[in-house]
Amino acid sequence: MNPVNGKLITFPDPQRISLSIRASALIFSDPESQKLLDLLDRIAPSNATAYIRGDTGTGKELVARHIHAQSSRSDGPFAAINCGAFSETLVESELFGYERGAFTGAVTSKIGWFESANGGTLFLDEIGDLPLSTQVKLLRVLQEREIVRIGSRKATPIDVRLIAATNVNLEEAVRAGRFREDLYYRINVVPIQLAPLRERQGDILPLVEHFIAVYRDRLHTAEPTLHPDTLRLLHAYPWPGNIRELENTIHRALLVCDGNVLLPVHLNLPHIQSGASELSAETRQFIADNCPLEKVFAQLFAKETEELHDSVMRKLIIQAYEHSNQNQVQAAKLLGISRNVLRTQLKNFGIIE
């Protein structure tokens, strides 16, 4: 049905939609996205190293999984690791493994992610977070096709296709000396650029349909309909968190919807006023009367003046931390502070130990 004419959109039965194990979906309906999908299908059969660039939440791991599934390695393992999730002292043992007695606490030998992915594909997300010392060893692994566990003198041959990804500009990191130029050229064999969701307007509604089908089935909710103002807002909103933010938004909307119609207020978007000029007067008034953000500010301003700053900072930091899926590197970047400052604040708030 045409939402522009004020009609409601009814979504299909989720049983007729092929649902993945994860809620996220590789849905490329936008014409530019379809061109990218054609590229993925062309490069998948090769063993070439791929380098995926894109903002947080654009689906880099899903693209990597698609490449693996379409390759001759599809029967082999697919291993995914976030390079920013490990400290500098742990990342090498995680990637390359270690022998018993290699360091204090190494009571047994352990294989690394490269050996775990042998015969398949290894996806290194946020490769730009690797320390320079590890970059040197990774370069050698890619050149020699063998790894050496920490504490060992024996090289172990590996057969792994590497797919790397990052949301930072590695060219700038190379110029700044934070990333090795030779490693950059080694991984940049097949560059893949993922556009942010705001530039993929044709993908928004199919993704909404997918997430509604997934979470309606999980939550056992009634069949929802989409108000035309809600559809306009979904397309007007910039989606800084991309597909991940859209998924969380739809999940939350189904939880709070008290009827069979999803209204703009159910989306609870932080910058909901950005699309207000395109909404009906009735919907704008409904948002003004019920916007949760206004209630939050009312609660904050009711506090004593000396508590206001701490309350706002706590809410801001915790929201950024949760929005980044508890990834400290990403949360710190989102807030424009260093990771050390963020860790100190999280410890002060009792979020981490």
DSSP label at 12?
A: P
Domains and CATH numbers, the chain: 3-20+200-296 (1.10.8.60), 31-193 (3.40.50.300), 303-348 (1.10.10.60)
Contact between 182 and 135 under an 8 Å Cβ cutoff? The reply is: no
**Residue of 284 and 81 predicted with greater confidence:** 81
Tokens of 210: 């997918």
Find tokens 């042998």 and name the residue.
Answer: 118
Beta bridge partners of 50: 163, 190
pLDDT of residue 330: 81
pLDDT of residue 234: 93
pLDDT of residue 221: 82
pLDDT of residue 281: 59
Report the mean per-residue pLDDT for the chain.
Answer: 82
Contact between 44 and 219 under an 8 Å Cβ cutoff? The reply is: no
pLDDT of residue 315: 74
224-253: average pLDDT = 91
**Residue of 118 and 297 predicted with greater confidence:** 118
Cα angle value 221/225/29 (rounded, 5°): 105
Query: SS3 helix, strand, coil % of the chain, rounded to 5?
Result: 55, 10, 35
Percent of the chain having pLDDT more than 90? Answer: 48
pLDDT of residue 328: 86
**Residue of 222 and 263 predicted with greater confidence:** 263
Is the overall model pTM greater than 0.85, yes or no? no
Distance from C-alpha of 95 to C-alpha of 114, rounded to nearest angstrom: 6
Q: Which residues of 65-88 are buried (b: 16+ CB within 10 A; e: fewer)?
A: bbbbeebebeebebbbbbbbbbee
pLDDT of residue 299: 52
**Residue of 248 and 259 predicted with greater confidence:** 248
48-104 pLDDT, tens digit per residue, is 999 999 998 999 999 999 999 999 999 999 999 999 888 888 899 999 998 888 788
